[in-house]
Amino acid sequence: MTARIERPLSPHMQVYRWTLTMALSIIHRATGMALYVGTLLLVWWLIAAASGPAAYAHVQAFAGSIIGRLIVFGYTWALMHHMLSGIRHFVWDLGYGFKANEREALTWGALIGGIALTVLIWIIAYAIGGGR
């Protein structure tokens, strides 16, 4: 008789070796949730703009503060990362990009691309005078 190897009945996090693809898939979900909160801040800004100069000045003062700029920067990154990860998932839905090297390239592309697009957007915003 051969000895029976005890294995978990269902896979769990202790079984898998963490990969960048796995981490970015989780981050994709987290950025999706963060976009809900950021969209509420965007709605606050739009309502303030429609409410008059005093309400708009209050929101602009918050958005212009250090914490406000960090939040808006984070929102920009979450939006860019979520968009690029969504494209990555769409490519997978089409049946492409499952080979190990393709999967890694798409993952690194989403990670680096999200950061690069965020920085580029902020550079352009400051260049046209949005960062005064």
Supply the DSSP string of 18-66, one letter for each residue: P-HHHHHHHHHHHHHHHHHHHHHHHHHHHHHHHH-HHHHHHHHHHHHSH
User: From residue 34, how far is each of 2, 11, 84, 108 by CA, in Å?
Assistant: 51, 28, 15, 21
- Annotated binding residue at 82? yes
Enumerate the known binding-site residues for heme.
Answer: 82
Enumerate the known binding-site residues.
Answer: 82
